[in-house]
Amino acid sequence: MEWKPYTDQARNWFETLRDRICAEFEAIEREAGSDASFEFTPWDRDTDDGTEGGGGVRGVMKGKVFEKVGVNVSTVSGEFAPQFAGTINGASVEQPGFTATGISLVAHMANPHVPAVHMNTRFLTTQSAWFGGGADLNPPIEYDEDTEAFHARFRAACAAHNPTYYDRFKKWADDYFFIPHRNVARGVGGIFYDHLECADDAQFQRNFAFTRDVGEAFLDSFPHIVRKRMGQEFSEEEKRQQLEWRGRYVEFNLVYDRGTLFGLKTGGNIDAILMSLPPEVTWS
């Protein structure tokens, strides 16, 4: 099956979602009296043989509310290195070719009462084709009502497609976003899914619709939480708590995160791959 038209459909959606998210985040900055805006930097993927490898656009904003937020969209293609190919669904040393398109977002907030957040959705093709992604909330100071509101929106998105999705994908997020060497969760979870296979057009359309709804759920839920918390006063102790909590976030992303590893192993843009790291962090 020729997957390029499907890759193009997914890429167009990810770019549209990027534009809507960035506009919403800039609107929040305006509400806080800031003129901060995203700076967008295009990049091309280097390949060993000089062939076209695709690329992407890295968007970063540093403002009054969003201490640092990165929203990246990329579409890349090529061949996996032999030692990495066998770890990817549908790839092998004999058939290492791939294409990947996706959006990745991480926001670190100035106010410790506002949770950090991660969201990523993607479409990959090897000898197989599939969607993956999800979103998870990472508050330094947890509010049960925010956690419930975030989960409720993703629960509804999942229920519209499959009654088993939310329980399955919530558990997957709980298991995945965990720091074994600390024996703690990275945050309060969300959903995480992978390998929603697309063997034909019908499966692509079904899983693409779900992936779009994951993006819509993020856009519906997270800005509401930001607006609710961004004006709260905070103490030096609460800021210290946030900076120390960020250290756990860094540890997870550098030691365990599959997306970080995928980007590094496929010749991605280093600044885009590591945009998930916070601008300021401490370890006790």
User: Catalytic one among 108, 113, 118, 151?
Assistant: 118
Q: Is 118 a catalytic residue?
A: yes
Q: Which two tokens stand for residue 29?
A: 């900055």
Backbone angles phi, psi at 255, to 5 degrees: -100, -40
Q: Which residues are catalytic?
A: 118
